[in-house]
Structure 1
Amino acid sequence: MRKRFYGALVLGSFLLAGGVVTSCSDYDDDINNLNQRVDAVEKTLNDLKAAIEKGVTINDIATTDNGIVIKTSKGDFTIINGTSQAGCTVEIGPNGTWVINGKDTGKPSKGADGEDGKDGIYYEPNAETNTWWKVEGDKKTDTGVSYLAEGTITAVYDKVNGELLLNGVEGYQGTLVISLTTGLKSLVFQPDFYYQGIEAMSVGTYNYTEKTVAKVNADDDFSKDAPTSLKGVAMSPGLVANYHMNPSNADINKIEKLSFISDDKDYTRSEGGVVKATVTSKEAKDGILTVHAQLTDGTIKDINTDGKVTVLALQANYKNAEEKVDTTITSDYAAVKAVDYNDMVLAHADATVDHTKHLYATAAEAIKNEAEYEIVWNHEGMDVAELVQTHYDDLSSGTSVHEAWDVNAKSGTVEKYGFEYSYELVGYHKGENKTSESAHAAMKGSVLRPQMPKDGKQQAFGAEQNQAEVNREPLVRVILRDKVSNKIASVGYIKFKIVDQAAESSVLLNAQFQFNDKYTVNCTENEHKLEIAWHDFEEDILAKLQELGISKEDFHTNFKLEGGNDDATQYDGVTATSQPATKKGIVKQTISDTGAEQTEIITWTLKNNEAYQLFKNNEAASVVVRYAKEIDATKHIYQYVYVTLTWTPSERNVTPAGKLADSDKIKEYWYATNKPTAGSGYSDIHANVETVGQIGANDEFKSDILNTFVGNDVTVSDVNSVYTAFQNDKLTKEFKFVDPQGTDLTPVTGNSGTQYEITVGKNGTVLYANIKGDLNKYEVVRLINQETPAAGKTIQQSVLEYVDNDVAKDILNYADHKDLDVKETFTAQLEIKPTNCDWVPFTLDNNKFFVKFLRPISIIDPNDNTFTDAETGGAKRDLTLKFVDWRDHNFDGTETKGHNYYEYYGVNKIECLEKDIKTDLNGTSGKFDKLLSSVTDKIKFHFTEPTYQEIQQGKNGIKHYFGTLLYENNGVTVGDFQIQVPFDVTYDWGTIRVYVVCKISKTQAN
């Protein structure tokens, strides 16, 4: 029989609809329908078990009209009753008997009055047997009579064994047991700090002077009470290590053995053996396994002094379902750092940064000084543990640093290391008063409550309160005790003053609730709701307030959720002076009817975008709301109960990402970096003017990037399936120019020799150029839409359009289409930017590439322009030039297939820059480093320009006429020399400068 259930019936087992849900009609006779329902139940249970295996946690179990809903961190699972009929309710009727579905059973729920309460006989339902039990004083007897009608489903949570026990499940006989935990798969160390870059935990030695104190009470005079110091003590409680469990709901009861593997890792040298760590206890909470261990043998090494570091790894032997050891799980290694902590002293929890606000060391010192805290005469209980903390000298850094050990005594920090706090009232008398000041209060644990004495003596906690207590000053002694040796490490005294009214607002409680629902960003405004279940509200708020003497009725009546139940005000902290903060979603309060009574439920609702803004840079998000009780409205004095909701997603999916695979590119359109060979890599694409002879081609410079991708569209792959809103078919993609500033892509040089700075504008869709020092910018390239967008394409602005202006043309014509280095052919970098919603960045790997804008034509000197000096009338030669386009098609070759390339590319003008002619006269042959005019003015060179018609149609039998060169020498005879003549050839896409070398043969007959 399972023992120690989480309460009984309404308090722990989930007997539905306020107690029990029953099926009150006959079973359906339709066998097929029954089979379908059984299959559905089996599927639900299998899905639930699978979810638990993945680390899902059970948040709540609620009733429905025909069964139960098991609410988990990953969704709800519904299980129906044994029949398809409506449920029934169990309640206590007006005559005190149990009533099921409105029918009086006649069985009393409460015994008749008897002597000392032992003779009363009554009946109660038993969750384990599903039968009525007869209660006679301390004796309980099973009547064997079921309180459940046929088909009833009940759910009982066995908290000890981590199991959900279901009875009455359709298609199952007996009790169905579902484990709410799953097998441990891995352990990951949670570091306390980093020891020279290594994840580490500390092993402290707590050095203190032992103290003794006299026994005190609240009534007698102990005004001279003070601790007596004895000898020094060095207390080493061992280490405390924390590990993340995977999954977080792993059952630690199935860990048969925990042990540590230890080692010393070399730096340089070492002395002493390897330390041994023996596990003494373990506990798990919120997915964290905390292990306590004692260290024996060996020594803990120190990097600085030993050249070694001691490391530990936790090893867990885990049992399977058959209770056999079948799995050994080892954590990562963590460093161990020995730390000395000296001179522990009790202090106020609101101590300043320098940690000097200590408690008084003697009763006399506290008595003679002003009271440090005020408490209203009718206060239901102030928790002294929230006012106290411990300070010590931390020697871990090599120097002594006085600092706080814990946030306050309520935090549970010192308990992890073998210490504990205790509190007691110290009696003393003021003036002629016969009654001790401290007799006007009582303590329960750490809670101090003002109350009246009786006959001059303290009464038990909870006695009458009266304004006659005002101005009394009870004294509390706080002790920090070493639990291992039961020795006192520190003693301090606090004096309180009982006042008529609170001088300022106070905080009674800060209830904290954790949620671990996973979060995945998407592009909707779907809401995610986090809910504090009614039983959590009762356990963590109402029950704790009752410990402070505040009843549930008092809370319901007098404490109001600030801002209203539908949208509570959120605060920037949990102090009495905390201010409203920017809201994170909506926190509201609703009322849950648990059957016997009504209880608050708090929900926190966040839209997906709100959650993303919180989680994109943070692992957790919190909101704080508060309930307020008005103490003095005119003085604005209130008592506050804070509620802190923290969402730490077990999965935080906020970085959608994918990849642009090279396999999505058409290989033959792509090039390796700065390489001329197609298919050599996937770094570059080449943009060019329209091809001669294609339908509609008119020498426009437009290139559709999508033509280089498979299917003429960009496909994003390798997106994690969890990001449903960011799969390829959900993404909008854009091409954008990458800012070239700070790269080799700027500045660039034009054909004219002018240098230009390149910048990006219009949201990444235009490249601009400006002459250095000139603020006027000119468009060079822009991204435009396809003229006729293809259906289904996810990118519209995919066409690169080279702009027709003088600056753009100057840049385009700087280098031959074969000269592909970054500083030669004009190059731009682009990136593909996928989005679904503009507020969520999508990371795309391999998304950048380069585009090289190929000069449409090139002009080559054929090196056949030769002249002979002293010819009669001067030497004349028709200029010969070789024109090729970006494909190396010769304008006069067979590859033109009858098309006039000169006309298509708009070759319209050829000019000679006569003043810039250079020569190798009087120098090194072939080295043109002097202007001809600077060497001699007797040699003349003239050029007759061709007309547009002559270029296109030819002259004197020449198919394409480029002009005539005339050479004259009016001086003395000369030998062989050369001149370099610059020509500017103008066509549709600008001007190209070509240098023609003319050879001059020596003077005839000389």
Structure 2
Amino acid sequence: MKKKIIRVMFFGALALATGASFVGCKDYDDDIDAVNARVDGIEKTLSELQAQLGGYVKSVDYNSSTGVLTVVGGNNETFNLPMPKDMPEYTLEVTKDGKITLKKGGDVAGSGTIEIPEIPDIPAAFDPALLTVGEDGYIYYNKKKTEVKLPAEYTATSSIMAITNEKGDVTGYSITALTKDGKVTNATFSIIDALPLKGLVFRPDCYVDGVPSVKAYNLTYNAWGTGKNYEVSEDGEVFTKDENASYVTPQILAYYHMNPSSVTMAQIETLSFIADDKESYTRATEFAPKVDMEKSGVVTGEDKLNYLKVAMDADAEKIASKEDNEITVFALQAQTNVSDKKEVITSDYASVHKVDLKDVVLKVNIETVEGNEPRNVLVYGQTEARGERTEEYAGKAKEAIENEADFTVPKDKTLNLAERISAYYKEGDKTIELKNVTDLGLKYVYTASNYIKGNPDKTQQNTFINEADAAKGVVNPEYKGEESENTVGREPLIRVQLVTNDAAEKVVAVGWIKTKIKPASKAIEQEVALGTYNYGCATFDKMITYTDMNDVYHAAGLDKTSFHTIYSIVSAGKDGDDNAIATLAKGSTGKVVELGDAEATTSNILEWTVTEEDMAKLISEGTTSISAIVTYHSDVRGDVVITLKANIATPSGTIKNNKAENVWSDDLTYVRADVKEPTGTPVTEFTFDLYKAFMGNIEVEGVDAKNFPSFEELRTNFVFSEIKAVTIGEDKYTFTVENTENLNAEEVTSTLTATLNGKNAPQEIAKIVNTYKGEKYTAVVTYNKENEYAKVLLNQSAYNEKPFTAGIEIIETNECGQNLKLTSGNTFDVKFLRPINAVKVDGAKLQDATTNKATIDMSKLLKFTDWRGEDFLSAPDFFAYYGIDKAKGISIDKDEITTTYGNGTVVSYDQISDKISIDYSCVVYFDANGAITLGNITYSNSGLTVEKEYKLFIPVTVNYTFGSVFTTVELTITPTYDKK
């Protein structure tokens, strides 16, 4: 039987003080056909049961021998569900420190930890309602994955999961079944009274002087009304404002986070407030807030979390005044009744902030230009205007009628305005959204607002929408109850009102939204194929002719004249020749204009162009086809969407192999660069010509010059290619390449730069200067010996180890600056060989306490070779040639010396510097026989007689023209006495 993943939700509130666990089961490996035959019934029963009972029941009982699940609801109704038989059990234990352990039969199958959320900060913050098993089999807490995964053998086609608290009492169940197509159906229940309320934390509406507060609103407004029966006219409805103010004092509502979040009102016996006025205790009893239990309850917020909503009855006039340096505070007390044990839970204290609501206005979220975010604008016809206009439009539909429609609605679609309406009010100098209109005793009312549209219609616009849907805030285009072409072009109005939610339904704010019905949303779509563009110096410029458009006319069922009479190209403006510039759909390339009717262009309808720059970018990205999507619009028919399409063909070639193979690696992938062998004149530059690696100029093969004549004559340039980052110790060097923009210039430079650890400006490492004069090419590479980054990179390793390597690319460019695609032979590497090497000499020894100082010449410990591996000579003088100063070019770093002096382990010099000392003086010269002397290392012992030999490891630095080379030499100090 194929195993499937369980999807399980764990419920309950388990205190961490003593730990918690839950017990679960998985499927019985029964006959698969028999199980599948009952799967649809289980799914239907589960979904119906969940819908009927909600999340809370009195009991759940599973009989493993019969496979029957019995559920008793809150009203004692009983339900029996068929389930598989004999499902094994497993447990998940949760400790107070957040450690979770999965066990099967007492054996540990996995463990991990959970992170307790810090917000909201509720006592006993662990909430098992946040424990889930994901489809991947892992256990999650608060949507965060833990390390614990259910073993594969425990995954199931159906399951029942029982959850227990720290006492072993069952607090909830999760039942899971899979449909035939493998989808998970799940029902989750908690046992009523098994999950007591542990904590309450106030959710503030605002903060007053840093104190969390609930808003107590007082609404002042002048009601709007028609004053008389409205007669349908071209000007539309007229509302007038009452001169006398009206008032609404809404219910004060306070919201609280609960732990656990699954608590219901059935578990709360009473709610009450305690209140106080800080700095003035005399008014606390005057405020005296009380709880309206009938209007209170558990609700789900916009954030999908459960909250306890508490309706507060209080006199807002008795809220303490800030001006008197007083603040009214209150806390909620909830008395729970679980298993006959009463407990009072008290929330944190909060303040009451009195808010005077006034100048309420309506706004609508309208669609803007494609690609921009929708925005809220004032609804037309209010006292506050959207734009500049006189007061005479306040309360009148006329303002909306005379302006463009805020929305267009296809005749076969609907538009839900109710989802787009919001109310705002003034508080001080701020405009604030009124989010909780229902809590404030207000509601929105929508009505189809009839008017007569002027010439040529002279028809009532309500005729063209469903008025019953309009009362729900939905614009549904209809004519006599049916979808009709007759609705296209009509402009119905919807009146929006914010009214009091009582029998009087006084109008707090009113405005009108204009809509326009357009043709069916389904457009006629047609592709126009325009062949292939061969990339080259000729720019992309395609004329779309009458012939090309024939398929479009045919799809629209119109001839050319009729089509261009009924349809207009969607355009944002015109070019200098008065041609309409098409507004292209997303994903389009280039520019399309609709040509005028001059005699010279009567056969050409559209012109599609792409700039050289854009085309070059497309080619570099490997694009092989492009399109431009043009829309033609009609007020009486569906849009026509034309996709202009063209293929792009690009030439390619290969670099002919004319390499001077003697100077290349065996696989012809790299060359080595050096500073040349020593002569009597010191070397000052690291430079070479890349053409020395080839037998003449670079030649290209395989170009289709017939179809791509622009690429018959080409210009060659060598440039640096992208180089991977180089890490030396803790330093990371990253590289960029900068090339001359015009690759046909007389001199084209490619510069390789580096940045150290992502900081500071890029530094020049090397550059290539390409020149072309009189049929002769050069590509001279110069390594920057003046830059510190360049010196470090060059000297990172010896010539025969891992020299600094740069990638080189050959670019072939035509006279228009377009690059030919090269398929082979166009890339290689250059390895920059370090000019000199400082090589450690083994076996150097010095006896302790030698007469007339213990000294040894550095040449016994160190020798030099160059990039060829050749030892330094006196004639020519290699030291002079490579720029090693004979008086100070070699030095030691005493602070970094290490030694085995002591017990044989390596220690730093500073630990024994009070016992011995090491000094070095650089003096480089050649004796009469050409032997090299590098200067003496002087050793001194200020301690006791040396009985056993030990070693000194001495760091040496050699500075020369192209940077510094580092090595460590080794000197053995032998005993004071010869013990032979």
TM-score by length of structure 2 reads: 0.39
TM-score by length of structure 1 reads: 0.38
